[in-house]
Structure 1
Amino acid sequence: MLHLRVICPPERTGAVRDVLLTEPGVTHITVQPGTAVQPPGDLIEADVTREAADQLLAALRHLDVPRCGGITLETIDTTLSDAADAAEQAVPGDPADAVIWEELITRTGEEARLTVTFQVFLAIACVLAAIGAITDSPVTVVGAMVLGPEFGALAAVAVGLVLRRGDLIRRGGVALAVGFPTAMIITALATVAFDATGLLPAAALDQMDQVRFIYSVGPFSFIIALLAGAAGMLALTSARSAILVGVFISVTTVPAAAFTSVALVEQRFDDAWQAALQLVVNILGIVVAAVVVLMVSPRARAWRGSGKWFVTG
C-alpha cells in the first residue's frame, strides 16, 4: 500500500475528506486541523491501495490541492491491518499491475535529467565497456551495462510520446543526444591513451570472440531490444524495480556506443558502423516497446490542465 499526506486550506478539507471516504481503496484516514505550518492548513493522512492511487490523485488535482497545498505519496513496506486488507480486496486488480501515472511521470522525469552524475556514470560505463571489449571480457561488458543510466532517459521519451508531454521527450532526448556523444568522445580519448601506453595491442580487436555481440547486428538484436524495453517499462509501472537490472544486462546500448569509439580510433570503420547500428537498433527497440506497453496499460483518458497533462485510471 501507499501512504498519502495532503496539506490543504481549511476550506478544502471537507471536500478532500469526502473524496477519501468515498474511495473504497482508502483506509486509515486521519484529519489534523491546523497542523501544517508551511504551507499553512490542515494535514490529512490515509493509506491507499496502488490500484486506487491514480484515480485518487486525479480527484485531488481536480480540487486544486497541489496549487494551494501539497500531496505526498510514499510506499509502505509493511501493513498489519484488517482494514487495509479489506481496502485491497475492495478494489479490482492486483497492486503489482497498477500504474500510477503521476509517479511514473515524476520518476522518469527525474532520471532523464542531463546532470553531471548522469554524464559521469555514462562515461564510466562506456570506458568500462571499451576495456571489456579490448580484453574480450564479457563480465566487464556486463558490468558496464548495469552501470549505464540511459534507460531512464529512454523511458522518459516513451512516457512523453504516450502522454504527449513535450517536456519529457525533450528532457530524455537531450540526455541521450548529449550524454552518448560526450561519453563516446571520452572513450575515444581513453582509447588513444591505451594506444599510447601499449595497453591496446594492434591485434587485440581481432580476438573478441566472447564480446562480438557488441557489434554483430542480426535479427535478434531488435527482438531483444523490444523484449528489454517491454520488461523495463513493466518494471517501472509495476513497482518491480529489481527487474531493471536484468533489462540493463539484456541490451547493448552502452557497449555499442563504447566500441564505436574504439573502432573509429583504430580505423576499423566497418566495425564502427556495425556498432553504431547496434546502438540505434537497441534505442529504437526499447522506446517502441515501452510505448506499446504504456498504450495498453490501464488508463481511461488524458486531459490538459494548468499547462500539464494529467491521467486518470
Structure 2
Amino acid sequence: MRILIWHVHGAWTTAFVHGRHDYLLPTTPDRGPDGRGRPPTCEWPAAAREVSPESLADEEVDVVLLQRPHEVELAEQWLGGRRPGRDVPAVYLEHDTPAGNVPDTRHPMAGGDVPIVHVTGFNDLLWDCGGTPTTVIEHGIVDPGRRYTGDIERAAVVVNDPVRRGRSVGADLIPELAEGVGADVFGARVEHLPAYRGLRTYESLSQRDLHDHLPRRRVYVDLNRWTSLGISLIEAMYLGMPIVALATTETPLAVPSEAGFVTTRRDQIVPAVRYLMKDPDVAEQAGRIGRRHAKRRYGLDRFLADWHDVLHTVVAGAAP
C-alpha cells in the first residue's frame, strides 16, 4: 500500500513508517511544516520516501493519512485534483486533546466522509466528532531497549516549546521541580525557559542522543496537564525509568501506580521524585514494572497491525 503522509509528529511517525507499506513524505526545499520530509534526527527505513509536491500528481496513492485540517485542500492540490475521501481513500489521525469549549468542542472533520483515528480513548471521548466514524489506535514504540542507570541524581522532563504552551504542559511547575531536586529539561525551544535555580536545558537532541541521556537521570517527570499522551513518556518507560506524572488525560491508564507515582496533587510531585532519588533500588524496580507494562500495551507489532487493519478497511471500502 502506498500512503501519503506528512511528517508532523516525528516520534509517532517513526513507529508508523516501520510498517509493511510504502510511505510518501512531501518534501519542500525549505522543509517547512508542509514539507519536512525525513528528519535528520530519527532513523527511518528506506520505505519512507521523500517526494516533491510537483511529483505527487503522477504518484499512485492508495490512501492519504491526514493529520491537520488544511491537508485536505493541500492533498487535492498536489494530487492533481484528487480529493481525499472522495477520489482517494483517506483517514484523519487526531493526535491532540480538544482545545476549545471542552467537552463540547466540535472536531474539524466532524460530519465528513473521512473516518477519524484517535491516539487515546480519552481523546475519542472528549472530541465531538458528530456521526463521523471513529476508532482508537494507541501509540506503538520502536523498542530502544532497557538502558536505565539513574546515575545522575536529577529529574528528566521532555517538553517542546514550554514557554509558549505554558500551563498545558506544566511549564509553571518546572521552577519548583528544578529548585527542589534539580531538573534537566529536553526538547525544542527549551532554551527560552528562564534560568531557574537547579535547571539545565538540552535543546533538540537527536532521538538516539535523547535515548542515551534520559535513562541516566534518576526519575522521569511528566508535567502535562492537558495534552494528548506524550510518546516521550512511553519511551521513558521503555527505557526502564521510574515515572512521576500528573494523573491527567490518558496518563492514569498509561502508567501503573507501581511504576512510580501518578498524582493530581502538585505538592506531591517533588516529594515523590525525592523519594525515588533516595532509594535507587525502589526506582529501578519501578522502572522495570513500567517497562513491562509499556511493552505489553504499546508494542510496535500491535500498533502496526491495528493501522494495517484500518487502512485496509478504508481502501477496500472505497474500491469500485
Common topology (TM > 0.5):
no
Larger Rg: 1
User: Which protein is richer in strand relative to its size?
Assistant: 2
Higher relative contact order (CA 8 A, sep 6+): 1
Q: TM-score when scaled to structure 2?
A: 0.32
Q: TM-score when scaled to structure 1?
A: 0.32
